[in-house]
Amino acid sequence: MTFLLPELAVAEARTLRPHATGIIDELVNHPHVLLTQMGPADATSIEELLATSRTFDVTAGWVVHLCRQRGGWTALTTDPGRLRRVDPHVPTELLL
């Protein structure tokens, strides 16, 4: 099983939870986790997604974009509501 992890989500987690650096490093370096960078085409799609949903949460938009891009992958999240504000139909699984 492979997990995609947007680099922006890593930066957000490191900024908001500096005490969790060890756990974040472990996750980032796990062999089944692929860090993803946002390219220009991704940025355009995400901007359209955010405009359509009338939200301004780039990280959530990127996660939804990645799930859609991969044919409906499930997003692991601690905050499903954050993702559902961007797309109420995005499949989520609660990460505790």
Q: What is the pLDDT of residues 66-92, one digit of tens each?
A: 999 999 899 999 999 999 999 999 999
94: helix, strand or coil: strand
Beta-bridge mates of residue 40: none
> Residue 86 is inside which H or E element, if any?
none
Report the alpha-carbon distance of residue 37 to residue 55 in Å, rounded. Answer: 21
Domain ranges of the chain: 3-94
Give the pLDDT confidence score for residue 96 in this predicted structure: 83
92: helix, strand or coil: strand
77: helix, strand or coil: strand
Q: What is the pLDDT of residues 38-72, one digit of tens each?
A: 999 999 999 999 999 999 999 999 999 999 999 98
pTM value is 0.90
